[in-house]
Amino acid sequence: MTQLDFQTLLPLTILTVWACVLLIVDLFIPKNRKGITAVLAALGLAVTLSFTILQIGRENSGYSGMVVLDGFSTFVNALILVSGLLGIALAYGYVKRMGLERGEYYTLLLFSVVGMMLMAQAADLIVVFIALELLSIPLYVLAAFSRTSAESEEAGIKYFLLGAFATGFVVYGTALVFGATGTTSLVGIVGSASNGTSSLLLTIGAALILVGFGFKVAAVPFHMWTPDVYQGAPTSVTAFMAAGAKIAGFAALLRVFATAFPTLATDLTDILWALSAVTMILGNVVAISQTNIKRMLAYSSIAHAGYILMAFVPYGNKDIMPISIAAGLFYLVSYVFTNFGAWGVVIALEKSEGKGLEIGDYAGLGRKYPALAAAMTVFMLSLIGLPPTLGLVGKFYLFRAVIAGGYTGLAIIGVVTSLVSAYYYLRVVVTMYMKDGEPTTEREPMLDFTTAFTAIVTVVVSLVPQWLFLLASNAVLKLF
């Protein structure tokens, strides 16, 4: 292990050590003051974030080519750490109110973040597999964290079983790729594939890996678990899961497919096209009939997985790939902020025992709590993709990249499904402003701050999006 190895994974190492120490420190924190653990965990994330930012511009590989550090991984890691911070901010008051406050919540969240960061830096399929497990296992436990609620337990076991199944696909795919190329390192796979190794085995292996990640990012037809898990899990966990698992899953997909399987693009592009189109259509159409806000947002999250998948379709085209990756990353940023904001509003209205989660419960919010209703309106507009929000800018870049790649049909499907989605998102807005009701909210300073912060980011960044797009464009994938 050299100094270079160490520098490659410096932020990740800091966070791992911090999480291990926090596990012990937490034992000495009295039961009714677990908020201290939350603050310490957030501090760890902030320290790691600052070290990640210091890494901007560095590019190298480490640990015998097992991991890489490049613009892409730095950008994605920063986004993951921000999600972790937002996840803790949402959980801070919520877990106390719901009687779930235990120190392990925050340490498990930190370990999951470690797994996600490792995923973004993985340059070997074995590391991808271990990172996938490291990010998933804490999420399984967190989904079942509310042990008194049968729904939460169902969510945990469902997520665990289907997640383990999905991991099986990734491992099987990895084995086939190894069989076809004789190596698990992404660089080695490219080298072997360009020498013209038998590509049927390689194609099947890559397809199986795609299936495994399809589960993780909730793409149709691998989305079955999503509504039940998102509904059953504690809402603060759902918010973190929806954002974090998506970022890490898409980061790994982008890195694995763009660097290791460019030769398979002709075979896989059609599959990705169909996957993206079906996910957008099914997610948006089924969301229409949902009355529970958590289920509606779950289907909305499926639909957004479809939009992000659009960025993958032109990945075989060397000229388009950079802008399409940048568009995908930009969309992820916009999704993360909008997502956390919307779940924050859901948390503010949620009562114990799953009350206050129907869309009807939002009636009268616009009159009684104008600020909260305004924030929710911003998030709904952003999810549809209307101005003045980040969602619009994200979709604009995405559609532009796809059309530049020559897939106008997919862009049209994207626009049409966005119009369909306006129906159910605007229904929430209409319910808040046009219907009478006496909603009650649980206000906590941390929650208010998070909702306000994400709403402001969603609006303000959309007015000056160029710098963020420039950052995303500089986040290039590197091969070593």
Partner 1 sequence: MTVDLILFLILALVSVSTALGMLLSRNTVYSALFLVLNFVTVAVFYLLLGAPFIAMAQVTVYAGAIMVLFLFVIMLLGTEVLPASNILPWQKPLAGGLAAVLAVEAIYLLLVRARSVAQVTSPDVAINSMDNLREMGKVLFSTYLLPFEVTSILLLVAMVGAIVLTKKEKA
Helices 321-349 and 235-255 meet at what angle, rounded to 10? 170
Residues 11-40 that bind partner 1 (CB under 8 A): 16, 20, 23
Span from 139-147, 255-263, 320-328, 458-466 in contact with partner 1 (CB under 8 A): 139-147
- Between the two ends of the chain, the Cα-to-Cα distance in Å is 18
3-state SS, residue 419: helix
- Compute the least distance from the CB of residue 38 to partner 1, in Å: 16
- Residue 374: which residues within 8 A CB-CB, separation 6 or more? 455
121 or 418: CB nearest partner 1: 121
Q: What is the distance between the alpha carbons of residues 260 and 208, in angstroms, rounded to a whole number? A: 14
Q: According to the binding rule CB under 8 A, does residue 154 interact with partner 1?
A: no
Q: According to the binding rule CB under 8 A, does residue 104 interact with partner 1?
A: yes
- Residue 389: which residues within 8 A CB-CB, separation 6 or more? 334, 338, 378, 381, 382, 458, 459, 462
Q: Which of 29, 126, 162, 187 binds partner 1 (CB under 8 A)?
A: 126
Q: According to the binding rule CB under 8 A, does residue 127 interact with partner 1?
A: yes
Written as six digits, the tokens of 422 are 């306006």
- Compute the least distance from the CB of residue 142 to partner 1, in Å: 9
1 or 464: CB nearest partner 1: 1
Span from 127-135, 256-264, 276-284, 471-479 in contact with partner 1 (CB under 8 A): 127-135
Q: According to the binding rule CB under 8 A, does residue 67 interact with partner 1?
A: yes
- Compute the least distance from the CB of residue 5 to partner 1, in Å: 8
Q: Which of 92, 106, 140, 369 binds partner 1 (CB under 8 A)?
A: 140
Q: According to the binding rule CB under 8 A, does residue 124 interact with partner 1?
A: yes
Q: According to the binding rule CB under 8 A, does residue 134 interact with partner 1?
A: yes
Report residue 96 CA to chain centroid gap: 25
Q: What is the distance between the alpha carbons of residues 459 and 461, in angstroms, rounded to a whole number? A: 6
Span from 136-144, 187-195, 318-326, 411-419 in contact with partner 1 (CB under 8 A): 136-144
Span from 107-115, 304-312, 427-435, 449-457 in contact with partner 1 (CB under 8 A): 107-115
Tokens 């980061």 label which residue? 251
Q: What is the distance between the alpha carbons of residues 82 and 88, in angstroms, rounded to a whole number? A: 10
- Compute the least distance from the CB of residue 195 to partner 1, in Å: 22
Write phi, then psi, for 196 (nearest 5 degrees). Answer: 80, 40
Q: According to the binding rule CB under 8 A, does residue 430 interact with partner 1?
A: no
Q: Which of 41, 69, 85, 144 binds partner 1 (CB under 8 A)?
A: 144
Q: According to the binding rule CB under 8 A, does residue 63 interact with partner 1?
A: yes
3-state SS, residue 47: helix
66 or 193: CB nearest partner 1: 66
Written as six digits, the tokens of 289 are 């009939």
66 or 298: CB nearest partner 1: 66
183 or 197: CB nearest partner 1: 183
Q: Which residues pair with 69 in a beta bridge?
A: 60
Write phi, then psi, for 127 (nearest 5 degrees). Answer: -65, -35
Residue 357: count of CB within 10 angstroms of its CB: 20
- Residue 221: which residues within 8 A CB-CB, separation 6 or more? 278
**How far is it between the farthest Cα atoms of the chain?**
68
Size of the site for partner 1 (CB under 8 A): 31
Written as six digits, the tokens of 8 are 């490659």
Residues that bind partner 1 (CB under 8 A): 1, 9, 16, 20, 23, 63-64, 66-67, 102, 104, 107-108, 111, 114, 118, 124, 126-127, 130-131, 133-134, 137-138, 140-141, 144-145, 147, 156
